[in-house]
Structure 1
């Protein structure tokens, strides 16, 4: 049976530590938000999604997005829309980075968030929590948050690729 934590012990600890730092960064930067319809948009969450997707892969990025959303909800700074508003984008960024390289991670994050996340929110989450919003409203809100955040993430991936963190951002093609 394969472990869900791939790699040797040092690699696992390194990934777990980097994931924790990204979660902490997402939480610290969650003060920068704006309300749009029934959601609160956090552009820096999408920056963290791109960084996590590029450095750690899609599943670790989804885990970081999940933990960040969970803690934001527990502290009252987020809404339930944080889950579908971040996890699909993190997965899309990680998959795009893995298969296509650096710039595609940032371009795929808004697609995952804006389309898949908005669809999940509009069809499942919105009616479940009693906040009806059309998919176009949610898509607009999610894209308004994810596009600038993902572009910032792309710049950071490029800049961090030239530092001591470059093994994280090597780019699997």
Structure 2
């Protein structure tokens, strides 16, 4: 085994551990939610998406968001609308951070959650669970959650950057 493969394995383990921690934190913070029609607006999910997208990259952040959606539904703290809502916001942040290399990429979270997640919620999830709602309804509900969550995530990232150890946690995309 080479030193490079050991570093890659360590990087993978660090990302996986942080993704699990973010999923657990987002699951617990999901208890703070507001029912909006058939959905539950949970802005802290989007805060975690913004932070994870920057610190972990798009794929691990989206994986953490999917695990969170699964756990929230398993515990009956969420709705099936969390599945299309969360991962696309995390992907948007991670992708934007790779391109822009700025913490302001956290503010891109609503771009994935709103248009992509809202459309998938209306076209796929709502009919599957016997719910009704237009794309506009889900887009609005998801944006009510993701905009404040992304702004809070950006603020948290700005504060975390002042902590020396965070530089060691962040994974270079």
Q: TM-score, normalised by structure 2?
A: 0.91
Tell me the equivalent position of 1:129: 129
Describe the SS at the equivalent of 2:40.
strand
Partner of 1:35: 35
Question: How far apart, in 1, do the equivalents of 2:46 and 2:170 lie?
Answer: 17
- Deviation of the 1:105 alpha carbon: 2.1
Scaled by the length of structure 1, the TM-score of the pair is: 0.91
Flag the 1:128–1:134 CA change in 2: closer, same or farther, 3 A.
same
Q: Say whether 1:166 aligns with 2:167.
A: yes
Q: Does 1:97 align with 2:97?
A: yes
Runs of 5+ in structure 2 lacking a partner?
Answer: 1-6
Residue 31 of structure 2 corresponds to residue 53 of structure 1: no
More displaced, 7-16 or 136-145?
A: 7-16
Q: Structure 1 unaligned runs (5+)?
A: 1-6
1:63 CA drift (Å):
0.3
SS state at 2:166 partner: coil
Partners of 1:150 and 1:113 lie apart in 2 by 10
Q: Deviations over 1:113-145 (max 9, x none)?
A: 011000001111111211010111111110000
Displacement after TM superposition at 1:159 (Å): 1.3
Matches within 5 A, 1:96-115: 96-115=96-115
CA distance in 2, matches of 1:114, 1:66: 16
Aligned residues: 167
Q: Secondary structure at the match of 1:31?
A: coil
Aligned to 1:4: none
2:63 maps to: 63
Q: 1:42 to 1:69 in 2, by over 3 A?
A: same
Distance (Å, rounded) in 1 between the aligned partners of 2:29 and 2:143: 18
Deviates more, 1:53-62 or 1:93-102: 93-102
Q: Which residue of 1 aligns with 2:17?
A: 17
Relative to structure 1, the CA distance from residue 154 to residue 169 in structure 2 (aligned partners, 3 Å threshold; closer, same or farther) is farther
